[in-house]
């Protein structure tokens, strides 16, 4: 089985589905001959041609609006927004149009658009190339939000996203685009949306994470293990719909929970997870649920590693829950 990084796994998923379904088209800024700023679409233009690999102007609202029109006329577009920070000019198209077509048409029209975009910090991109805006879109009914943390999941989740009829925002962790490597099948497979994974089992504390923070959670769990603390790591993989069953099973087992996300703390997705757990499992909790998050500031440039959660911050929260 070949070893791939996340970029290669995403490209493999796109190639697999474009070969299988001629309705699949990709579009975005510099995604054609150039192959994308991160090279995720490298080689697609040469294989599938300009009719299916479409370079667009720098106009995010236009990219998503065009993709919506394509989907309504029977295509299955996969637009790329070059950085997650650039998605905001398309916010109206995504929230008020894309996410609502099935509902407003009484189910007569689906709108199978999969929006790919890299998110998160760690590449010294400053405040215009480092944000994690997932909570804004999780809050949007009608839109699915997916956040893989490794190459195997990236390919399987992207294939599953391209094969269902609801719009999906597929958020890729650019900090580990090439750093995360693992075995990925050359062939076809899909990972069901809405199902979390448990990459590390434990008995004393549950750590919930997604995207680029899963590796941070796993690093903290290894450090905790050397101190005799057993940590279970749950990778959500899909943020909307999220796998509440797996989360509750883990928290009921351990009695303690830490949520890790890179986005700012206030109104971050961690707050929704905490509320969902406490509404259903408060009698199992041995300590308050803690959050390790980004700060309530614009994403900094020179201080980005002070802003982003790291393994030591997560380990400190783990210890706090045990000392309660």
Query: Which residues are part of the catalytic machinery?
Result: 129
In terms of DSSP bridges, do strands 168-173 and 144-146 run parallel, antiparallel, or are they unpaired? parallel
Q: CA angle 107-276-200, nearest 5°?
A: 105
CA distance 228 to 79: 46
* Residue 3, phi then psi, degrees to nearest 5: -95, 130
- Asked if 34 and 215 touch (Cβ cutoff 8 Å), the reply is no
How many residues in total does the chain contain?
324
Q: CA angle 9-13-17, nearest 5°?
A: 170
CA distance 223 to 220: 5
Give the residue carrying structure tokens 């690093």: 219
Asked if residue 241 has a cis previous peptide bond (ω within 30° of 0), the answer is yes
In terms of DSSP bridges, do strands 144-146 and 76-80 run parallel, antiparallel, or are they unpaired? unpaired
- Asked if 120 and 130 touch (Cβ cutoff 8 Å), the reply is yes
Tokens of 287: 């300590």
Tokens of 300: 């900094």
Q: What DSSP letter does each residue of 224-248 carry, written as one string?
A: HHHTT--EEEEE--EEES--HHHHH
By C-alpha distance, which of 143, 141, 142, 146 is closest to 157? 146
Helices and strands (H and E) in the chain: how many: 12, 14
* Residue 204, phi then psi, degrees to nearest 5: -105, -35
């Amino acid at each position: 089985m070949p070893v791939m990084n996340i970029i290669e796994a995403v490209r493999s998923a796109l190639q697999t589905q474009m070969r299988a379904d001629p309705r699949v088209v990709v579009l975005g800024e510099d995604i054609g001959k150039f192959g994308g700023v991160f090279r995720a679409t490298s080689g697609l233009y040469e294989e599938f041609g300009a009719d299916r690999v479409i370079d667009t102007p720098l106009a995010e609202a236009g990219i998503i609006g065009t993709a919506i029109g394509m989907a309504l006329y029977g295509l299955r577009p996969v637009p790329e927004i070059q950085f997650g920070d650039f998605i905001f000019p398309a916010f109206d198209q995504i929230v008020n149009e894309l996410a609502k077509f099935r509902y407003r048409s009484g189910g007569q029209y689906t709108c199978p658009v999969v929006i790919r975009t890299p998110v998160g910090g760690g590449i010294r991109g400053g405040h215009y190339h480092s944000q994690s805006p997932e909570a804004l879109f999780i809050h949007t009914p009608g839109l699915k939000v997916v956040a893989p943390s490794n190459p195997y999941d990236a390919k399987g989740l992207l294939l599953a996203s391209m094969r269902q009829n609801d719009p999906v925002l597929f958020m890729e962790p650019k900090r580990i685009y090439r750093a995360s490597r693992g075995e990925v099948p050359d062939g076809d497979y899909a990972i069901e949306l809405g199902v979390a994974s448990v990459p590390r089992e434990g008995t004393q504390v549950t750590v919930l994470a997604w995207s680029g923070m899963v590796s941070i959670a796993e690093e903290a769990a290894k450090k905790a293990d050397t101190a005799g603390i057993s940590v279970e790591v749950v990778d959500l993989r899909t943020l909307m719909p999220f796998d509440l069953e797996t989360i509750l099973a883990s928290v009921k087992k351990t009695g303690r929970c830490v949520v890790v996300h890179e986005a700012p703390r206030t109104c971050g997705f961690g707050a929704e997870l905490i509320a969902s757990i406490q509404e259903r499992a408060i009698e199992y909790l041995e300590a308050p649920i803690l959050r390790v998050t980004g700060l309530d500031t614009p994403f900094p440039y020179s201080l980005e590693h002070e802003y982003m959660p790291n393994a030591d911050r997560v380990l400190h929260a783990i210890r706090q829950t045990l000392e309660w």
